């Protein structure tokens, strides 16, 4: 891997901003998609067409309000001649890769630039006061605390190594970006590699521990049902998830409606039955559909008004399903989605 | 803004108002060029999405025009259109959005002159209101 | 009996000593045991965890888990009842414990063919309100309810006495809080059911309106105040934009709303979603554009669709994970829209829904 020196002497945030400005100025892109600060300390994604429009851009906001891949699938959902450079978090870029495979994002004129991600704080702990750079690591979302893919995703990534900013071109497109910006001087990635490996090992450990615990917590339908006991059925988890792109979800199909008598029967069998009744069906069905592509971004969990750790559950289930196929969501745009491909001789252990 | 030329979207019912507009045209009545007509089959075809969409895309005014009460080609479409329009107006009012930028008028096929009058009046009213601030807003 | 005659003539109540939870449970148990109803729909505290959810209870022994009129609304009951009856009505009797705004919403559902009241026996209450339940309720930055314990929606609700569709009405919110359990028998069905109940005496009493006059006056003042000067009172585009700047587009408000019953919302369709080419165009024209766009289109659209029917339950605010006081806007819009259409959502089954009817000589002031 090469690391090309960029924006010397600037903090990471400024380096990312400078990249945004130069991409527009040098005509590398027609638009930059980047988070931007709005009224009341809110953050939204904007598609900026001119350097002027970047005045409130904030490439490292303290919170994730909308998953970048979701924003991108609206802006780049079909082939277009407009070139977009998106500055997003690693998990957002990984989700974007999954969404490309699901053909909801057209990659042809798109460049994804990520960074060494410091993580974001939990949406409901964000008081609006925190300046982006001073968000309290204690408030980092659980998803971020167990994230091991926090850098080097997308077409290019800007990382910090021994106090300099280095741009890593990760794909051919990343290489083009580097040359169009005239980056040539190589810097040493040693400090970055070492730090990254250490943090990755630590996070993998955290993730494994958390997953083991969670696996026990939800083992069995009764416990799973308890896990979702407070679920209000608002489907926010699905709506904000970049992978769940369907406009009409399976759970909202008319043929899923059941007559009143079937609910009464259910009640008679166990003395009492919950209404609404489709909570588990929804969550299990959703995980069956998309957990394999879950990038563990934690957006769903952040959005859940009932405070259910739903993202950790999906990503735990996803870790299991993707291990079956030795698949890593969002890593490699060329690798086909496991459920869109097959190998003649595989999975015999599931046959009886 | 002296050089402000309002852009007004007009949803015109095919049977009356569009025909009225046509008559105004064939009678060579002079008219402000600010109205972009969109032909719909009945004023009741215009659902609130179409109006809010035009408004949020920056139309300075939106006109819905249909047959006079009692004359709707589909019998009572315009009565329903009026109720829906009332909802939209009140919703806009409750948010403090400029509901004056929306107008509902009845114009028959023979009222070329009235068509011109409505367009003139509305254009002047919008001119006085100035450009729709939504058209500059980025956080829609 | 219409509420008007009741207002002067008073009504018949069943009464028992003790608090309403035991009183109502006793009724439910007796109804189940006698077979007058086959199941009970009520909030229930799920044993083993601290959650509350609506349940259909058919075993009389489980009635002790029912927590009738517990001040929480995890799901708007109308949503649950609509799920229960949307494809086919109940064939057996069910007693339904329901708050006034939930009942009104369900009546609206039924009028829009999203459910059926057939075989439902409604037990409602004069309603003191419910508290916030969302996780964001801890901080009251913009979140409804701040302080009082009840949702803002509840403190400005003047519709806390249920309308005609209620068969029985528990006196809960009243000028002087009752020391015993008193339940008004409003329908014939209620009167005949009451005859078979043991442990209750039947008494004549003043009307619910008479018993709640002071509350009604207080609420109506609060409502007026809220509509005129409450937070986020219609102050224009800029205010609206900043209110929704932190909207994360999760649509929980829509999903929680009992009146948004569409399986596929207009705002998920190609009719309203900007295609990328249009997004590019608008971004060029404005210099920049929020992506995904459509926040205002969605909320404005939902206001248009729902304001004529909104029952002011506050569920949308409660569901919003970022504490946007969505219901405030709906209540305020409803307070203008509903009088203009002369419609009172959910008060009865008879009034036609306002957008499916009209008068030839109305609303002339809005046409030019
Ligand atoms: S399921 Fe949750 S954690 Fe996984 S990709 Fe979707 S939003 Fe992210
Ligand atoms: S759960 Fe399945 S059907 Fe529903 S949105 Fe997600 S992928 Fe689509
Ligand atoms: S966001 Fe939370 S409450 Fe809403 S459906 Fe998902 S898990 Fe349930
Ligand atoms: S809009 Fe909000 S307050 Fe009105 S009925 Fe729906 S959930 Fe209740
Ligand atoms: S906003 Fe309108 S279209 Fe969408 S669910 Fe509600 S009523 Fe239906
Ligand atoms: S619940 Fe809140 S954040 Fe979600 S769409 Fe509604 S207003 Fe926006
Ligand atoms: S056809 Fe003209 S208003 Fe209906």
The two structure tokens encoding residue A141: 């979302």
Give the pLDDT of residue C145. Answer: 34
Distance of CA C50 to CAs A182, A215, A261, C47, Å? Answer: 60, 21, 29, 8
ipTM attached to this prediction: 0.93
The ligand 3 atom nearest the CA atom of A304: 1
Q: How confident is residue B38, by pLDDT bands cut at 50, 70 and 90?
A: very high
A135 lines ligand 1 (CB under 6 A): no
Same domain membership, residue A132 and residue A34: yes
**Residue B66 is inside which H or E element, if any?**
strand B61-66
Neighbours of C (≥3 Cβ pairs closer than 8 A)? Answer: A, B
- Domain membership flag for residue A54: yes
Can you spell out the DSSP letters for C172-239?
Answer: -S-SS--SSEEEEE-SHHHHHHHHT-SS-EEEEE--HHHHTHHHHHHHHHHHHHHHHHSTT-S--HHH
Could you say which ligand is closest to the alpha carbon of residue B107?
7
Give the pLDDT of residue B14. Answer: 96
Give the pLDDT of residue A132. Answer: 54
Quick: pLDDT tens for C307-322.
999 999 999 999 999 9
Same domain membership, residue A293 and residue A150: no
Domain boundary pick from A163, A193, A223: A193
pLDDT tops 50 at residue C138: no
Nearest 5°: CA angle at C98, between C96 and C102? 125
Among residues C297, C353, C299, C305, the alpha carbon closest in space to that of C328 is found at: C299
Yes or no: say if C238 and C296 are a contact pair by the CB < 8 Å rule: no
Same domain membership, residue A128 and residue A218: no
Out of C126-135, C254-263, C316-325, which region has the weakest mean confidence (pLDDT)? C126-135
C306 lines ligand 4 (CB under 6 A): yes
Quick: pLDDT tens for A258-270.
888 999 999 999 9
Distance of CA A223 to CAs A233, A276, A280, Å? Answer: 18, 18, 11
Same domain membership, residue A218 and residue A291: yes
Same domain membership, residue A258 and residue A290: yes
Same domain membership, residue A306 and residue A235: yes
How close is the Cα of C356 to the center of ligand 1, in Å? 42
- Domain membership flag for residue A203: no
Cα B101 from Cα B8, distance rounded (Å): 9
Same domain membership, residue A131 and residue A235: no
Q: Give mean pLDDT, residues C25-38.
A: 96
Report percent pLDDT > 90 for chain C: 83
- Domain membership flag for residue A335: yes
Q: Count CB pairs under 8 A between chains A and C.
A: 228
- Domain membership flag for residue A199: no
Supply the residue whose CA is at minimum distance from atom 6 of ligand 5.
C260
Angle, helix C100-111 to helix C77-85, in steps of 10 degrees: 30
- Domain membership flag for residue A202: no
Out of A36-45, A336-345, C242-251, which region has the weakest mean confidence (pLDDT)? A336-345
- In chain A, residues with a C-beta closer than 8 Å to the C-beta of B136 are none
* Residue B140 touches chain A, beta carbons under 8 Å: no
Same domain membership, residue A135 and residue A159: yes
Quick check: bond before B132 cis, omega within 30?
Answer: no
For chain B, give me the number of helices (H) and strands (E)?
4, 4
Q: State the residue range of the domain holding A322.
A: 208-347
The two structure tokens encoding residue C203: 């008494």
Report percent pLDDT > 90 for chain B: 96
- Which comes out higher in pLDDT, residue A125 or B58? B58
- Domain membership flag for residue A267: yes
- Look at A226 and C284 and tell me if their CB atoms are within 8 Å: no
Could you say which ligand is closest to the alpha carbon of residue C302?
5
- Look at A42 and C276 and tell me if their CB atoms are within 8 Å: no
Cα A85 from Cα C4, distance rounded (Å): 66
Question: Edge-to-edge, what's the strand order for the sheet holding A84-87?
Answer: A4-6, A164-169, A156-161, A110-115, A84-87, A31-38, A42-48, C288-291
pLDDT tops 70 at residue A151: yes
Can you spell out the DSSP letters for A127-172?
Answer: -S---GGG--GGGB-HHHHT-S--SS-SSEEEEEETTEEEEEE-SH
Could you say which ligand is closest to the alpha carbon of residue C142?
6
Q: Give mean pLDDT, residues A144-154.
A: 95
- Domain membership flag for residue A42: yes
Question: Edge-to-edge, what's the strand order for the sheet holding C39-45?
Answer: A272-274, C52-57, C39-45, C94-97, C120-125, C168-170, C181-185, C11-16, C201-205
Yes or no: say if A67 and A299 are a contact pair by the CB < 8 Å rule: yes
Query: A289: how many CB neighbours lie within 10 A of its CB?
Result: 16
Domain boundary pick from A165, A193, A221: A193
C302 lines ligand 5 (CB under 6 A): yes
Q: How confident is residue C134, by pLDDT bands cut at 50, 70 and 90?
A: low
What average pLDDT is seen over chain A?
92
- Domain membership flag for residue A189: yes
Domain boundary pick from A160, A193, A226: A193
Supply the residue whose CA is at minimum distance from atom 1 of ligand 6.
C320
Q: What is the pTM of this model?
A: 0.94
**Residue A291 is inside which H or E element, if any?**
none
3-state SS, residue C341: coil
List % helix, strand, coil for chain B (3-state, nearest 5): 45, 15, 35
Report percent pLDDT > 70 for chain A: 98
Q: How confident is residue A133, by pLDDT bands cut at 50, 70 and 90?
A: low
| Contacts with C185 (C-beta within 8 Å, 6 or more apart), sequence order | C11, C12, C13, C14, C167, C168, C191, C194, C202
Maximum CA extent, chain C: 74
Supply the residue whose CA is at minimum distance from atom 6 of ligand 2.
A244
Give the pLDDT of residue C146. Answer: 36
Out of A166-170, A175-179, C137-141, C193-197, which region has the weakest mean confidence (pLDDT)? C137-141
Same domain membership, residue A262 and residue A167: no
Same domain membership, residue A238 and residue A163: no
> Residue C203 pairs with which residues in a beta bridge?
C13
Report DSSP state, residue A339.
G
**Residue C13 is inside which H or E element, if any?**
strand C11-16
Same domain membership, residue A235 and residue A189: no
Q: Give mean pLDDT, residues A216-238.
A: 93
Q: Give mean pLDDT, residues B93-120.
A: 95
Same domain membership, residue A275 and residue A215: yes
Number of domains chain A is built from: 2
């Amino acid at each position: 891997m090469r690391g090309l020196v960029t924006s010397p002497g600037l903090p990471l945030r400024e380096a990312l901003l400078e990249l945004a400005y130069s991409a527009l100025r040098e005509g590398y892109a027609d638009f930059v998609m980047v988070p931007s600060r709005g009224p009341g300390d809110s953050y939204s994604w904007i598609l900026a067409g001119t350097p002027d429009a970047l005045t409130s851009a904030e490439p490292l906001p303290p919170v994730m309000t909308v998953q970048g891949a979701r924003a991108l699938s609206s802006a780049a959902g079909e082939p277009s001649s407009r070139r977009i450079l998106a500055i997003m978090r690693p998990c957002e870029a990984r989700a974007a890769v999954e969404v490309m495979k699901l053909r909801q994002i057209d990659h042809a004129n798109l460049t994804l630039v990520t960074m060494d991600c410091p993580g974001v704080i939990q949406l409901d702990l964000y008081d609006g006061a925190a300046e982006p750079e001073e968000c309290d690591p204690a408030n980092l979302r659980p998803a971020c605390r167990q994230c091991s893919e926090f850098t080097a995703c997308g077409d290019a990534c800007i990382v910090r190594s021994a106090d300099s900013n280095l741009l890593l071109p990760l794909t051919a497109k990343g290489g083009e970006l580097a040359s169009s910006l005239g980056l040539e001087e190589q810097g040493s990635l040693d400090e970055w590699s070492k730090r990254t490996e250490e943090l990755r090992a630590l996070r993998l450990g955290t993730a494994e521990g958390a997953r083991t615990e969670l696996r026990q917590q939800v083992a069995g339908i009764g416990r799973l049902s308890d896990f979702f006991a407070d679920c209000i059925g608002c489907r926010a988890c699905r709506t904000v998830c970049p992978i769940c792109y369907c406009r009409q979800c399976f759970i909202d199909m008319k043929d899923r409606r059941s007559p009143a008598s079937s609910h009464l029967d259910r009640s008679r069998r166990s003395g009492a039955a919950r209404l609404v009744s489709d909570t588990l069906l929804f969550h299990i069905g959703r995980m069956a559909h998309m957990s394999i592509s879950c990038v563990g971004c934690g957006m769903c969990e952040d959005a859940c008004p009932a405070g259910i750790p739903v993202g950790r559950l999906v990503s735990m289930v996803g870790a299991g399903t993707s291990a079956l196929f030795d698949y890593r969501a969002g890593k490699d745009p060329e690798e086909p989605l496991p459920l869109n491909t097959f190998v003649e001789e595989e999975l015999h252990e599931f046959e009886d | 803004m002296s050089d402000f030329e309002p852009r007004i979207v007009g949803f015109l019912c095919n049977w009356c108002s569009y025909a009225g507009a046509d008559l105004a045209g064939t009678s060579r009545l002079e008219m402000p060029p600010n109205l972009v007509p969109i032909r719909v089959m009945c004023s009741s075809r215009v659902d609130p999405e179409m109006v809010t969409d035009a408004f949020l895309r920056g139309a300075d005014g939106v006109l819905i025009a249909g047959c006079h009460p009692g004359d709707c080609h589909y019998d009572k479409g315009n009565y329903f259109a009026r109720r829906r329009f009332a909802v939209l107006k009140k919703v806009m009012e409750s948010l403090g959005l400029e509901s004056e930028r929306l107008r509902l008028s009845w114009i028959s096929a023979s009222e070329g002159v009235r068509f011109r009058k409505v367009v003139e009046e509305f254009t002047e009213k919008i001119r006085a209101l100035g450009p729709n601030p939504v058209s500059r807003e980025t956080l829609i | 009996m219409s509420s008007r005659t009741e207002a002067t003539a008073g009504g018949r109540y069943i009464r028992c000593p003790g608090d309403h939870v035991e009183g109502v449970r006793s009724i439910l148990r007796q109804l189940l045991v006698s077979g007058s109803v086959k199941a009970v729909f009520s909030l229930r505290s799920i044993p083993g965890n601290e959650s509350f959810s609506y349940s259909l209870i058919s075993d009389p022994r489980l009635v002790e888990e029912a927590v009738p009129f517990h001040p929480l609304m995890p799901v708007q009951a109308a949503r649950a009842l609509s799920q229960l009856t949307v494809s086919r009505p109940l064939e057996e009797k069910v007693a339904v414990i329901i708050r006034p705004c939930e009942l009104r919403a369900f009546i609206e559902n039924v009028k829009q063919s999203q459910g059926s009241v057939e075989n439902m026996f409604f037990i409602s209450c004069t309603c003191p309100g419910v508290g916030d339940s969302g996780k964001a309720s801890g901080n009251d930055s913009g979140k409804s309810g701040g302080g009082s314990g009840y949702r803002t929606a509840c403190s400005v609700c003047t519709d806390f006495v249920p309308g005609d569709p209620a068969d029985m009405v528990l006196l809960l919110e009243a000028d002087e809080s009752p020391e015993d359990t008193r339940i008004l028998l409003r329908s014939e069905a209620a009167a005949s059911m009451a005859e078979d109940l043991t442990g209750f005496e039947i008494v004549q009493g003043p009307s619910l309106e008479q018993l709640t006059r002071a509350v009604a006056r207080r609420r109506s003042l609060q409502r007026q105040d809220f509509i005129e000067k409450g937070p986020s009172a219609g102050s224009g585009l800029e205010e609206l934009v900043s209110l929704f700047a932190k909207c994360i587009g999760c649509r929980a408000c829509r999903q929680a709303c009992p009146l948004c019953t569409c399986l596929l919302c207009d705002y998920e369709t190609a009719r309203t979603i900007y295609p990328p080419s249009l997004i590019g165009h608008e971004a060029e024209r404005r210099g920049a554009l929020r992506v995904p766009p459509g926040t205002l289109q969605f909320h404005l659209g939902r206001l248009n669709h729902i304001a004529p029917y909104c029952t002011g339950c506050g569920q949308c605010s409660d569901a919003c994970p970022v504490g946007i006081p969505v219901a405030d806007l709906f209540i305020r819009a409803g307070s203008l829209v509903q009088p203009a259409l002369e419609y009172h959502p959910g008060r009865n089954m008879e009034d036609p829904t306002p957008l499916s009817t009209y008068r030839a000589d109305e609303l002339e002031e809005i046409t030019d």
